[in-house]
Amino acid sequence: MFGLSSSWYDWKDLGLEHYYGASALLSELLIENPKVPLKTTQFFAEFLVYWWMMLSFACDPELRQIQDPPPIPQHMPEPRMPHPLTGISPESQLLLGKVGRLVLSQRRTALRQATTTAGALNCGLAGNEEPRNLEHQLVSLKLPTADMVLDPQDPHTSVNDLVNIAQAYQLCGLLLLYCAYPNLLDCKLPPETSHAARTWVSETPRSIAEYLISLAFHVLRVLEQNSKNSGTRTIEAILLLIVSGVLSQRAVCPSGSEGEIQCDICYQLPGISRSHEHSSLHGQMTATEARALVVTRFQRIQDILPFNTIWRMKLLVLEIWRLMDQGSDVFWVDLLVQNNWQFVMI
């Protein structure tokens, strides 16, 4: 998979010709040798899933059409064999790639239409079914539990680490989706919540920011459960970027019962239990502490992947925070589009 690492040496090199070549070779293999064991073809297919996900954040579909990766079998063999790039859930990465492709396309359109009013744009987005379909797929995605996964026998990477990184991908797919389509957050409160509280959450911009930062804190806490030397570090940089995009010092994360309401989406997911440990975590962190965690985790990634792309992602994060602290309502995807930064974020 040389093409996947092309950007390590030239950050503008997306390795597209290698992706197309690998896709074609795998397709030929499946046609000419239909009896090849599923585990063999699945190993290479999952490489392409991860690669496609990264390209979804780098390529403008109006300029470059990316061939979809091979389909993921509906019933994966159990116990699952962990993959070096997709871990135990290629499904969550495929969904994050679809969200990334949709959001970048939406933001490119919005930025080109400089004369479009915010109200008109929101009305157009509200009727779009694709975001709601992706939200439904992410929320209903059932991740493998630890007892359904083969132990990788890696002293630094436990099965629980793999479960956590899969959950983080699932949550970041939702976080990015909600950043671009905040109307999806309407009526996210439990049914027993009072009408006054429901109205406040669904209509107040500040409450949307609180919901997003609460979800971001939850992602960081999930990642923090992994060991410092976990091999999952190699695939978490894109997650840190998504989380960083909502870590505004102006957003106040609620605590106590209100905090649990704000992060209720976490407990609608089949793979996350409503434990006391998880329900109280996001109320124990500030944006400053969260930023420090992100920087620390980026450094751990750079310790094993000392390449331009990781360094550039870290610079992007620092620029996002600088603009936030100056009072700008910045979206990191807009910075990518406006500066024409197209690179594979690995």
- In this prediction, residues 315-323 reach a mean pLDDT of 95
Domain residues of the chain, as ranges? 87-112+129-186+204-249+263-268+283-339
pLDDT attached to residue 123: 46
Q: Quote the tokens at residue 339.
A: 């500066």
pLDDT attached to residue 280: 43
Residue 299 has pLDDT above 90, yes or no: yes
- In this prediction, residues 64-84 reach a mean pLDDT of 80
Q: What is the pLDDT of residues 188-231, one digit of tens each?
A: 544 443 333 333 334 455 588 888 999 999 999 999 999 999 99
pLDDT attached to residue 189: 41
SS3 233: helix
pLDDT attached to residue 192: 41
- Taking the C-alpha atoms of residue 42 and residue 71, their distance in angstroms, rounded to an integer, is 10
- Taking the C-alpha atoms of residue 25 and residue 36, their distance in angstroms, rounded to an integer, is 14
- Taking the C-alpha atoms of residue 346 and residue 120, their distance in angstroms, rounded to an integer, is 36
- pTM for this predicted structure: 0.86
pLDDT attached to residue 117: 46
Could you please report the per-residue DSSP string of 89-142?
-HHHHHHHHHHHHHHHHHHHHHHH-TTS-HHHHHHHHHT-HHHHHHHHHHHH--
Q: What is the DSSP letter of 235?
A: G
User: Do residues 294 and 317 touch, judged by C-beta distance below 8 A?
Assistant: yes
Cβ-based neighbours of 77, under 8 Å, separated by 6 or more: 38, 39
Q: Quote the tokens at residue 64.
A: 């470059």
Cβ-based neighbours of 288, under 8 Å, separated by 6 or more: 249
Residue 187 has pLDDT above 80, yes or no: no
Q: Which of 318, 150, 196 is nearest to 247 (CA)?
A: 318
Q: What is the pLDDT of residues 129-155, one digit of tens each?
A: 899 999 999 999 999 999 999 998 999
> In this predicted structure, which of 106-115, 219-228, 314-323, 328-337 has the lowest mean pLDDT?
106-115
pLDDT attached to residue 199: 36
Break the chain down into helix, strand, coil percent, rounded to 5: 65, 0, 35
- In this prediction, residues 255-265 reach a mean pLDDT of 46
